[in-house]
Amino acid sequence: MKKLVFIVLVVVFLVSCSVNQKMQPQAIGVVSLNVESQNYEIVEKIEGETKVLRILIFPFGLKDEYTFLNTGIGYYNMDFIKAQAMNNALKNNSEVDYILAPKYDVKIKEFILFGTVEVKVSGKGVIIKEKIAF
C-alpha cells in the first residue's frame, strides 16, 4: 500500500506543470484621443494582483464584484482574472482613474487535482482632473 501511494505521488508531481508569462498590452484597433495635458496627470507606478485557485474543475477567487462569473466550469478566463487584478490596483489607489500601458505578469501552476493562477498588473496611473458624468 505504501508503494502504491508513493508511486501515485511521484506520478502526480511528474505530470504537473507551471507556466510563467509576461504579457504586453495589445492594440485591438487604432484609437486616437486628443486630450489636453492640463486635464490629466500621470502619477507613479501602481500595481495590483489577484490569485485564483482551481479545485477539481471549479475556480475559486473570482469576485462577482467586478467580473462576470459566466466563465464556465473547468477553465480560467484570463480576461476576467486580469480585470480583477486591474480593479484591485485601482481600488488600492483610489485617486487613480486609469492605468496607462498595463503590463501583466501571469503565473500558472497546474496539477492534476488543483491549480493556481496569479496575475500581477503594473503601469503608470492617470488621474483625470476634470471628470465628465455620463
Write down the domain spans for the chain.
Answer: 16-26+37-128
**pTM surpassing 0.75?**
no
Residue with cell 492605468: 99
37: left (phi over 0), alpha (psi -120 to 50) or beta: alpha
Q: How far apart are CA 19 and CA 109, in angstroms?
A: 6
3-class DSSP state for residue 37? helix
> Residue 121, CB half-sphere, CA atoms under 13 Å: how many?
27
Paired residues of 111 in beta bridges: none
Condensed to tens digits (0 to 9), the pLDDT of residues 38-79 reads 777 888 899 999 998 888 877 777 765 554 454 444 456 787
The whole-number pLDDT of residue 94 equals: 81
pLDDT > 70? residue 16: no
Q: How confident is the model over 93-110, as pLDDT tens digits?
A: 888 888 888 999 999 888
In angstroms, the CA 92 to CA 3 distance is: 50
Range with the lowest mean pLDDT among 11-20, 24-33, 81-90?
24-33
